[in-house]
Structure 1
Amino acid sequence: MFSRILIPYDGSTGAERALVKAAELAKLCGARVVVLTVYRHHSMLEASLSMVRGAAEPGHLDDAMRSHARDAADYAKSLVRDAGVAEVSAFIRAGQPARTIVAVAREKDCDLIVLGSRGLGATEGYLLGSVSHKVTGLAPCPVMVV
């Protein structure tokens, strides 16, 4: 049925529910799983706000965001393995989430994308449309929204 499933994971509750469902499906199909965590490059506005927040902030926001993304991807990978899926890989990428998800689905030749209906970007989703909605319109393969 499916041989390679992409699971975008941002650490949100919705993403974790999607991860669990995708792992169940991968186990049933004998599919490989590709976990992807996307982080956004910080803007100049975010950089200027970080100066106001105080000295406890990290020196470079991209480094902190990359590190957080790596931790999230590793956590998701371990959950999928614990669910009994043998072949799991995890990647992190910087970029706009929907476009990056679609690009990785093409690059890794995934035949299904499973993602949560709401992630961590609630304000952006409200103003610009949700990532899941954008992915369903752009994806080269079926998309399951949990």
Structure 2
Amino acid sequence: MFQRILVAFKFSPAGARALTQAAELAKIHGARLHIFHALDYRLLHPATPDERIAAMTREAEERFNQEYKKFLGGYPRYAFNCWEADPSVEICKLALDMEADLVVIGCHQVSNRPGISRLGMVGMTIVQMAPCMVLLIPCPRP
């Protein structure tokens, strides 16, 4: 049984599909759903103004609420977080810190081959380094 599910979220069709599947699993298990979106890791540079990071964080939260929250299907037990980070490293750290039972990630669609999925470097690193099970969600078929 899953109690804590972590979604490695990206603003994309693959992210929407991963979010939908994670929400369905969370409903079945009554799990807490943690959704994490990594802002550009280059924002970690010390010269980056705090105002820029705060603005990007607000924009990501607003975009999630306006465009992607609907993919939760009304599931209320979730949290959306984002901050500047290397996505694969941060997802693995979060999974460890929160004692996640499962990490859900979406595969990318191969641009010229609809319905064909691929796992990028971020996904490969998560699969190799995550401290728990990882569920790969293929891109939707046309």
Aligned residues: 120
2:127 to 132, 136, 146: 136
Q: Residue type matched to 2:86 in 1?
A: Q
Asked whether the 8 Å contact 1:27–1:84 carries over to 2, the reply is no
Gapped regions of structure 1 (runs ≥ 5): 48-59, 120-128
* SS of corresponding position for 1:42: helix
Q: Residue type matched to 1:106 in 2?
A: L
Asked whether the 8 Å contact 2:16–2:71 carries over to 1, the reply is no
Asked whether the 8 Å contact 1:8–1:114 carries over to 2, the reply is yes
Identify the residue that residue 89 of structure 1 maps to in structure 2: 79
Higher strand share: 2
* SS of corresponding position for 2:5: strand
Write the distance in 2 (CA, Å) between the matches of 1:62 and 1:86: 27
Higher helix share: 1
User: Aligned runs of 1:82-121 on 2, under 5 Å?
Assistant: 83-118=73-108
Q: Identical aligned pairs, as a percentage?
A: 31
Write the distance in 2 (CA, Å) between the matches of 1:10 and 1:64: 18
Q: Residue type matched to 2:87 in 1?
A: P
Write the distance in 1 (CA, Å) between the matches of 2:70 and 2:94: 20
1:70 equivalenced with 2:58 (yes/no)? no
Q: Residue type matched to 2:71 in 1?
A: L
TM-score in terms of structure 2 length:
0.72
Q: Give the alignment's Cα RMSD to 1 decimal.
A: 2.4
Q: Which has the larger Rg?
A: 1
Asked whether the 8 Å contact 1:9–1:72 carries over to 2, the reply is no
Gapped regions of structure 2 (runs ≥ 5): 110-119, 138-142
Asked whether the 8 Å contact 1:77–1:88 carries over to 2, the reply is no
Asked whether the 8 Å contact 1:10–1:69 carries over to 2, the reply is no
